[in-house]
Amino acid sequence: MALSDPSPRKHIHTRHVTCRGYRREDGLWDVEGHLIDVKTYSFHTVHRGDIEPGDPVHEMMIRLTVTDDFLVTNIEAVILKSPFHICGEITGALQQMIGLTIGAGWNRAIKERLAGIKGCTHLTELLGPIATTAFQTIYPILVRERAPAPDTEDQHGNRIKERPALLDVCHVFDSSGEFVRGYWPDHYIEKQDV
């Protein structure tokens, strides 16, 4: 199912965000984000002169290096194109993310360190999809590699029924929902009427 047919309109702007995750040979993970903004019309800037349709107004990249536990060990950012020459001066500010962990509080930490004049709006926005890409890259691989064999038993002979890491992270994985009831019945919790 697609979106409904739109009203008559004219295309003005396109933002391309591409994120890729990589497993490094040294055991760390690299997640790279690439943002490109283009207009469908030409316009003039003080620093770059005329920017033609399709020529990126913004083009920037970030590489985030993290551990299996999503701890940021390194970050690199470059601004390849921007409307102002001084935009690239702020890329070093992203070093403040080193030592933080992607997870609860990540977006708050970004805002505390990089919001407003402390950072670049576009680089800051790119850290969101990079974090999601890190999760999508790392988590499925580690779950497969660390999963206990079927019917694994503890020292008392009880079948191990580990809590699925995805439990309660979104609507689908609601511990009181139909998906959990069908796929993880050991973790299903009956809804209580209020």
Domain ranges of the chain: 13-145, 164-194
Which one is predicted more confidently, 154 or 109? Answer: 109
Angle at 45 between CA 42 and CA 46, to 5 degrees: 155
3-state secondary structure of 85: helix
Identify the pLDDT of residue 179. 87
Q: Does the pLDDT of residue 168 top 60, yes or no?
A: yes
Q: Tens digits of per-residue pLDDT, 56-93?
A: 999 999 999 999 999 999 999 999 999 999 999 999 99
Is residue 33 within 8 Å of residue 61, measured between CB atoms?
A: yes
Structure tokens at 143: 């779950």
Which of 3.40.1000, 3.30.390, 3.30.70, 3.30.460 is the CATH number of 13-145? Answer: 3.30.390
Cα Rg of the chain (Å, integer): 22
Which one is predicted more confidently, 82 or 187? Answer: 82
Q: Tens digits of per-residue pLDDT, 33-49?
A: 999 999 999 999 999 99
pTM: 0.83
Angle at 144 between CA 143 and CA 150, to 5 degrees: 105
Distance from first CA to last CA of the chain, Å, rounded?
36
